[in-house]
Copies of this chain bind each other. A is one copy, B any other.
């Protein structure tokens, strides 16, 4: 049997980051940048005011105190968004709002709270202002540069503000907009076909006759593809007819026009007499069907169809399909997106013990044990503790109980038993 890590590596090797594509800003969220984003000029672009107040020459107000205010003539207004640039000559000031460009001649801003109108007072906002043509009393000195956001203080011209490989979130969108970008270049989102197989499967909601069950795997895997950040084409269920399945797979592998980026099948890969995926792919030279030393999920397959489309064939038991997708398909999908293929793995302490299959790695659905009375304490808490998600453990048909799982514990093949208190490697799903 092939080892878990070896099969993971083979599954991941089928994927490469998809080509770059230009998308509007909001479409980029959750995708990965394929190009750096650089500023097209300094940020901020102009010296601008950090306060509502008056743009002044610092030298003019160097002696100002509450008891000995300096009086300046107000010669203009600069609101945010204004392109006015009234010159601040010695003895004058210009009323300025937060974010507005500092006018020529001025080198500092006095906040309105430290001023009073001497003539021409007008209430606006929360303050009394001296309007243009009137005089303002300044009651405090400012130093050159004070309350001014300098040109280029945030970023220099040509500076990289976002990097290829960054996962785009709201702050990335804002940073791109702030440097004048209306679009971003990201790796194209993969389109992954999902095909469940089995004569016993019917659409959920259909009345069941003896022997039938609702198809849940195509829904499970399509949702998992979407949750991984890709688009899912949910197809099937397909019956146990190898020729029909072969036709569908070759249609999905349709050469260089409108193909999909990958195909995930479920079911039909074990040793039974009617295993349709195994039969359909038996003569496909680019696909290997191999047992993997893992529980659940031993019967696996992967490879490329004739036109190069990657295919991963997962077992049909729902818990097996879930765990196999996490181990073998999700990393490949993430790599296609240009993202880190792996979820972070964390150390967690087993809160109970169980036996594990000798010679096979185990993928055990687990859930957190609520920490006793920790609340939102501000001290680093004790280690996370986990229990099996269901009393039946990794029993591979218990789909209705899978939803209580919060993660998978990966138990190495050389471990035969987990004991309460053992440290496990877990990733949250």
User: Known contacts A171-B322, A220-B177, A226-B26: does B270 contact A349 (CB below 8 Å)?
Assistant: no
CB distance from A157 to the nearest CB of B (A): 12
Complexed CA–CA distance, A216 and B274 (Å): 58
CB distance from A35 to the nearest CB of B (A): 15
A318 within 8 A of B: yes
User: Known contacts A154-B401, A210-B83, A274-B79: does B26 contact A200 (CB below 8 Å)?
Assistant: no
A4 within 8 A of B: no
Complexed CA–CA distance, A291 and B283 (Å): 72
- Per-residue CB contact flags for chain A residues 362-377 toward chain B (1 = under 8 Å, else 0) read 0000000000000011
A126 within 8 A of B: yes
A424 within 8 A of B: yes
Once the chains bind, are B213 and A179 in contact (CB under 8 Å)? no
Once the chains bind, are A175 and B211 in contact (CB under 8 Å)? no
A15 within 8 A of B: no
Once the chains bind, are B212 and A81 in contact (CB under 8 Å)? yes
Once the chains bind, are A401 and B155 in contact (CB under 8 Å)? yes
A45 within 8 A of B: yes
Once the chains bind, are A98 and B270 in contact (CB under 8 Å)? yes
> In the complex, what residues of B have CB within 8 A of residue A206's CB?
180
Once the chains bind, are A381 and B273 in contact (CB under 8 Å)? no
CB distance from A380 to the nearest CB of B (A): 4
CB distance from A326 to the nearest CB of B (A): 10
A133 within 8 A of B: no
User: Known contacts A52-B270, A182-B203, A274-B97: does B223 contact A85 (CB below 8 Å)?
Assistant: no
Once the chains bind, are B170 and A223 in contact (CB under 8 Å)? yes
Once the chains bind, are A322 and B271 in contact (CB under 8 Å)? no
CB distance from A100 to the nearest CB of B (A): 6
Complexed CA–CA distance, A50 and B172 (Å): 50
Label chain A's interface by main secondary structure: loop
> In the complex, what residues of B have CB within 8 A of residue A6's CB?
none
User: Known contacts A272-B98, A322-B171: does B403 contact A178 (CB below 8 Å)?
Assistant: no
CB distance from A36 to the nearest CB of B (A): 12
Once the chains bind, are A169 and B403 in contact (CB under 8 Å)? yes
A259 within 8 A of B: no
Once the chains bind, are A97 and B272 in contact (CB under 8 Å)? yes
Q: Kindly identify which residue among B25, B112, B380 contacts A349, using a CB–CB cutoff of 8 Å.
A: B380
Complexed CA–CA distance, A312 and B424 (Å): 44
Complexed CA–CA distance, A162 and B402 (Å): 10
> In the complex, what residues of B have CB within 8 A of residue A84's CB?
211
A101 within 8 A of B: yes
A257 within 8 A of B: no
| Segment at the interface with B among A136-144, A185-193, A352-360, A392-400 | A392-400
> In the complex, what residues of B have CB within 8 A of residue A214's CB?
177-180
> In the complex, what residues of B have CB within 8 A of residue A203's CB?
182
CB distance from A408 to the nearest CB of B (A): 11
Once the chains bind, are A400 and B155 in contact (CB under 8 Å)? yes
Listed A/B pairs (25) with beta-carbon separation below 8 Å: A26-B232, A29-B227, A43-B400, A52-B271, A79-B199, A81-B239, A82-B211, A83-B209, A83-B212, A101-B210, A112-B271, A124-B273, A125-B271, A129-B273, A154-B397, A161-B401, A170-B322, A174-B220, A175-B400, A177-B204, A177-B215, A182-B205, A376-B425, A378-B425, A380-B383
